[in-house]
């Protein structure tokens, strides 16, 4: 058996499948056309797991998967204290983690209320700025939180900024750049070194 590769559902999955196919790793069925979450590869060597972003980290750390492909935002938000190697930037799913607030926003003198899905990233950012914050965990539609008075500002992934503008917000501080990364289980890096190294080198050659 070759490698077990855990893939992030959604946009990352859609963008990384052609890259994997260029490396000879292609599921026997297309994930978008199946309800399965585990797929054999056409080459018969590797197996693919399709799962949620944060679970990619868990599968890789626990050794259920040898290799994982997920966003840097997931690694920063959920990966603290976890043990795996981050081997490659695939240069897809590129965007920025940013703060955003209503146009013309003036920060309050007291505690800043911040809504975000990425509360750990937000906490770290504002702590480094010496700001007192109340973090409000949301799982989606962060843009409406300031509009409805739930929060003063938000921390979220920004691509084009169109959604922000449509809701009367503007991007402010860049916290970090985000892209899709390849992570590797620490034990697999030793026990399956040749297979891991071959895949990483093939991926690197494709993305340049």
26: left (phi over 0), alpha (psi -120 to 50) or beta: beta
pLDDT band at 1 (very low <50, low <70, confident <90, very high): confident
* Strand arrangement of the beta sheet that strand 47-51 belongs to: 38-40, 47-51, 4-8, 67-71, 180-184, 85-89
Q: So what's the pLDDT on residue 107? A: 84
Please answer whether residues 59 and 65 qualify as being in contact, where contact means their C-beta atoms are separated by less than 8 angstroms: yes
What are the pLDDT digits (tens) for 71-117? 999 999 999 999 999 999 999 999 999 999 999 998 888 999 999 99
User: Phi/psi of residue 190, each to 5°?
Assistant: -95, -50
Q: So what's the pLDDT on residue 187? A: 98
Region 24-32: mean pLDDT is: 92
Q: Look at residues 120, 15, 32 and name the one whose alpha carbon lies nearest to residue 69.
A: 15
Task: Share the mean pLDDT of the chain.
Answer: 95
Q: So what's the pLDDT on residue 44? A: 87
What are the pLDDT digits (tens) for 129-188? 999 999 999 999 999 999 999 999 999 999 999 999 999 999 999 999 999 999 999 999
Q: What percent of the chain stands above pLDDT 90?
A: 92
- Read off the pTM: 0.92
pLDDT band at 17 (very low <50, low <70, confident <90, very high): very high
pLDDT for residue 15 is more than 80: yes
pLDDT for residue 58 is more than 90: yes
Domains with residue ranges and CATH for the chain: 4-93+179-207 (3.40.190.10), 95-176 (3.40.190.10)
């Amino acid at each position: 058996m070759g490698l077990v590769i855990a893939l992030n559902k959604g946009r990352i999955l859609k963008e990384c499948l052609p890259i994997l196919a260029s490396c000879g790793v292609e599921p026997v069925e297309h994930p978008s056309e199946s309800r399965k979450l585990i797929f054999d590869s056409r080459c018969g060597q590797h197996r693919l797991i399709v799962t949620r972003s944060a679970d990619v980290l868990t599968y890789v750390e626990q050794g259920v998967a040898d290799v994982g492909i997920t966003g840097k935002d997931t690694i920063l938000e959920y990966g603290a204290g976890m043990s795996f190697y981050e081997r490659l930037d695939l240069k897809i799913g590129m965007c920025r983690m940013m703060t955003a607030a209503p146009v013309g926003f003036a920060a309050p003198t007291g505690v800043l209320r911040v809504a975000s899905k990425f509360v750990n990233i937000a906490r770290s950012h504002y702590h480094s700025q010496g700001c007192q914050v109340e973090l409000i965990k949301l799982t989606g539609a962060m843009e409406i939180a300031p509009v409805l008075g739930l929060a003063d500002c938000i921390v979220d992934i920004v691509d084009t900024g169109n959604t922000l503008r449509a809701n009367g917000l503007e991007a402010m501080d860049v916290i970090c750049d985000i892209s899709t990364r390849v992570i590797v289980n620490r034990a697999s890096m030793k026990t399956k070194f040749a297979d891991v190294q071959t895949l990483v080198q093939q991926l690197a050659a494709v993305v340049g």
